[in-house]
Amino acid sequence: MSISVVRSPVQGACDAQVLETGNSRFKECLTATPPSRRTSQDSQADGQSDSAPDGGTAAWLIVVGGWCAMFSSYGWLHSIGVFQNYYQNVMFPEYSASTIAWISSLEVFLMLALGPIVGWLSDTFGPRAVVMGGSFFHIFGVMMASISTKYYQILLAQGICSPIGLCAIAQPVLSVMPNWFNKRCGLAYGIISTSAGIAGIILPIMINRLIPKVGFGWAMRIVAFMMLFFLIIAALTVRERVPPRPEVLNREILLRPFCDVKMVLLLVSGILLSFGVWCPSNYIVTSSLAVGLQTNLSQYLVSIQNAGSLFGRFFCGVFADKFGTYNSYIFLNVCSGILVLALWIPATSNSAIIVFDVLFGFTSGAYYTLLVALVAPIAPPREIGYWAGLNFFFASIAGLVTGPIGGAILAQDNGSYWGMKVYSGVLLLAGSVIVLGTRLRLTEMVLWAKC
């Protein structure tokens, strides 16, 4: 669901008055582009955004391309954990587990942290060109990893080159959806996000089966060729509806999101929710083994969680169109926090752990699916890519340090996962409350409203 919010002159004056007591730069940023100075191109862009087709061949082709792009980007990202064991025990046994973990940590961090840059490039030059460039970097990185034999080579290829491409593939696709869908925007996001869940189930099993049969190199190349096929479809189908307008990146554009209280609250909530969501994702296997889960069952926990996420990603999009994007996002993240505190902490049996894994995968799907949809009602139509990219950038901070923080909590608790689970659940609930602040400002403090 996409909501258009127009700032009135009175609201602008009130915001400027509040900021006047703080940093004068923020006041200058907020008042630099009053409604009276809006260009005809800006007005035309807003009009085009308001008349999103919400269907038709062109719009649904965007969904097809988005599905393919998400399979090869977020789907790959959800599968990289499968390499940790192989690198640690086969390719680089002389390196510690924490050193090996830098490969996946850098991959997650760079994919999210480059969001503002990639978002601006997409806003300026259009999504197709950016997706094509990203496809080159991602496939090139995976291919180079397939012929690598040294740790630094894998780090450069898979930890740096590939995630640059991943960000350039996923970010434009997510940002362009609100231009094509309004009432069905949640459904569109739900559909394209299912591919990441499907890839998260298929790719780990596929890679684990291929490596013993054809070797690491050919396993990587086979996966790369498969992703290339999907990325070609994405490059042919993904395009903008509102023509891009090349614009010099200046201080006004850079600071504009930070002049909006709603966006600032959204950024803060993104950090907290990222910490909360990634703790169960990163530690579900080790925490389950610690309470006695069978080893042969633990290797499927990531795929089981991705299977739950597959359905969660789709249905949270449906819920967003029916009940509102913010309402659905807040409700499902609160459910994630409750599941962590009420089910993950006491879970000691195989059945309880698997039930938590499936349910958490379902509810956490909202975090991945609706992140950009939350920005659409707030950001100017031509700057959705940059504003959404900021959300990913702040989330990347959590992605980089979640592992070390979780490890520190474990060490302080002498290996007990209780403190880390409480930490995860509390941050999920706290982040949901802060998102509620953005939602209340959008609805002018109306508690019961579709938003």
Reduce the secondary structure of 73-85 to three states and give it as a string.
Answer: CHHHHCCCCHHHH
**Is the model's pLDDT at 95 over the cut of 60?**
yes
**Is the model's pLDDT at 243 over the cut of 80?**
no
* pLDDT > 70: percent of the chain: 87
Residue 44 lies in a domain: no
The pLDDT of 229-234, averaged and rounded, is 96
The pLDDT of 245-259, averaged and rounded, is 80
Residue 257 lies in a domain: yes
Distance of CA 378 to the CA centre of its chain: 18
Average pLDDT for the chain: 82
Burial class (CB within 10 angstroms; exposed 0-12, middle 13-18, buried 19+) of 250: exposed
Same domain membership, residue 424 and residue 279: yes
Residue 309: give the domain boundaries: 1-32+251-451
What is the pLDDT, as a whole number, of residue 44? 44
Same domain membership, residue 287 and residue 235: no
Collapse the DSSP code of 228 into the 3-class scheme (helix H, G, I; strand E, B; otherwise coil) and give the result.
helix
Helix axes 162-180, 127-146, angle to 10 degrees: 150
Same domain membership, residue 128 and residue 80: yes
Confidence of residue 50 (pLDDT cuts 50, 70, 90): low
Residue 39 lies in a domain: no
What is the pLDDT, as a whole number, of residue 40? 41
Same domain membership, residue 88 and residue 196: yes
Using the 3D structure, point to which of 200, 217, 247 is the last residue of a domain.
Answer: 247
What's the rounded Cα separation, in Å, for the pair 134 and 165?
Answer: 4
**Is the model's pLDDT at 32 over the cut of 60?**
no
For residues 145 and 162, the answer to whether their CB atoms sit within 8 Å is: yes
Same domain membership, residue 182 and residue 100: yes
The tokens describing 290, both together, are 């610690």
Residue 359 lies in a domain: yes
Residue located via tokens 């789907």: 75
Same domain membership, residue 341 and residue 282: yes
Dihedral of CA atoms 118, 142, 364, 267 in degrees, nearest 10, equals -20
Residue 231 lies in a domain: yes
Residue 60 lies in a domain: yes
Ramachandran bin of 147, using left for φ above 0, alpha for ψ from -120 to 50, beta for the remaining angles: alpha
Using the 3D structure, point to which of 193, 217, 247 is the last residue of a domain.
Answer: 247
Confidence of residue 33 (pLDDT cuts 50, 70, 90): very low
What's the rounded Cα separation, in Å, for the pair 158 and 139?
Answer: 10
Using the 3D structure, point to which of 196, 230, 247 is the last residue of a domain.
Answer: 247
Confidence of residue 2 (pLDDT cuts 50, 70, 90): very low
Residues 6+ apart with CB under 8 A from 83: 103, 104, 158, 207
Confidence of residue 30 (pLDDT cuts 50, 70, 90): very low
What is the pLDDT, as a whole number, of residue 247? 66
Residue located via tokens 């938590």: 356
What is the pLDDT, as a whole number, of residue 51? 67
pTM for the structure as a whole:
0.76
Same domain membership, residue 200 and residue 257: no
Dihedral of CA atoms 54, 58, 61, 62 in degrees, nearest 10, equals -60
Residue 67 lies in a domain: yes
Same domain membership, residue 172 and residue 63: yes
Burial class (CB within 10 angstroms; exposed 0-12, middle 13-18, buried 19+) of 196: buried
Same domain membership, residue 214 and residue 316: no
pLDDT tens per residue, range 419-439? 989 999 999 999 999 999 999
Please state which of the ranges 39-53, 137-151, 304-318, 365-379 shows the lowest mean pLDDT. 39-53
What's the rounded Cα separation, in Å, for the pair 46 and 2?
Answer: 13
403 vs 195, higher pLDDT: 195
Same domain membership, residue 323 and residue 238: no
Residue 80 lies in a domain: yes
Same domain membership, residue 130 and residue 60: yes
Confidence of residue 24 (pLDDT cuts 50, 70, 90): very low
What's the rounded Cα separation, in Å, for the pair 332 and 248?
Answer: 39
Instruction: Say which DSSP state 38 is in.
Output: -
Cβ neighbours of 447 (radius 10 Å): 8
CATH number at residue 379: 1.20.1250.20
Same domain membership, residue 115 and residue 227: yes
What is the pLDDT, as a whole number, of residue 316? 86
CA 360-269-432 angle, 5° bins: 50
What is the number of structural domains in the chain?
2
The most confident of the ranges 78-87, 186-195, 225-234, 285-294 is 225-234
